[in-house]
A and B are shown apart, each in its own frame.
Chain A
Amino acid sequence: MITAIIIVLGVIMIVAAVLAVIQKSLLSAIIAAGAISLLASIIFIILAAPDVAMTEAAIGSGLTTLVFLFTLNKIRKQDRHG
């Protein structure tokens, strides 16, 4: 049962990682990277490490995505203003 869950999560993570590398649009790639961190935090709970799961969920899929999006905003803004 747990093995089936791990295999499903693993397949989704690998697909999201390949999508994050291949996609042309930067926004989709950033969201896919955030999804990988979120699923990794579920796997950390299965591995009986709750501190690591909490930290990974807060930092990996929260603050890292936020910092990427702020950067994207700065790049696009300068692109529009020439």
Chain B
Amino acid sequence: MVKKFFVLIILVFFAVMLLPFAQDVTPFKELSQTATKYVKDGPDELGGANLVTSVIVTYRGLDTLGEVTVLFIATAGVGFFLRREDKRKEKKKRESSQILQSGSAFLFPLILMFGVYIFLHGHLSPGGGFQGGVVLASALVLLLLSRSATKINDTVLHLVESLSGASYIAIGVLGLVLVVGVGFLDTTILDLGEFGRLLSAGAIPLIYSFIGLKVGAELVGIIDNMRKDQS
């Protein structure tokens, strides 16, 4: 009973602490100064139509690098904890029905193509590397769930993930090395092109493709580790 009273006190205290914030928040009328600079200079400097993408990849590129690192650490942690040393006897898995097999075989390439479309057009329409990577991972999860006998090739998964991550850093370093005067992870090293086309906005489609592949491979790795030795 005392414990419930303490919990109530903590919650009331938290609510009272947040109350002035909820009372005084008035909707802004104009964009803030940082946002004004990003919205005004973004399309001209970087050539991308999606302003959120140009903020994520270029203006706040170091935050994206940190996020990719955190995702990598989480995947490594899950793989480390759920590791199986001994090979338990592999039970004979029951074959799934014909409808599941043909349905998933039909849907898998469509979903894969949709995922690749999302991260290739990240600078033109809503989307980008993270969303495309999640859709790629969900295509592979569809195969894992509907056909119980699939095995994911671990070597290919690790290879894809490491090469994508290394290429992302390599493009960033290219910005430092190639053109003197621009810094790490500058996307204007490639040609800016015409506004609104697929091959525009410098290195943004390239960076987002690598991020999409890396995120997709990592999420499939997490799900595969959680699923091991199930019958």
Contact = CB atoms under 8 A, between A and B. Distances in A.
Interface of A: 50-51, 54-55, 58-59, 62-63, 66-67, 70-71, 73-74, 77
A51 B208 CA distance: 14
Contacts of A51: 50, 52-53, 126-128, 131
B134 interface: yes
Contact of B226 (A54, A55, A67, A77): A67
B132 to A, nearest CB: 10
B126 A63 contact: no
B158 interface: no
B222 interface: yes
B203 interface: no
Contacts, number: 39
Nearest to B222: A67
Given A51-B126, A51-B127, A70 B134 contact: no
Interface residues of B, number: 19
10 contacts: A51-B53, A54-B127, A55-B134, A58-B134, A58-B135, A58-B138, A62-B134, A63-B134, A66-B141, A70-B226
B223 interface: yes
Contacts of A55: 130-131, 134
A40 to B, nearest CB: 16
B98 interface: no
Contacts of B141: 66
Interface string B120-141: 0000001110110011011001
B131 A63 contact: no
A76 B46 CA distance: 52
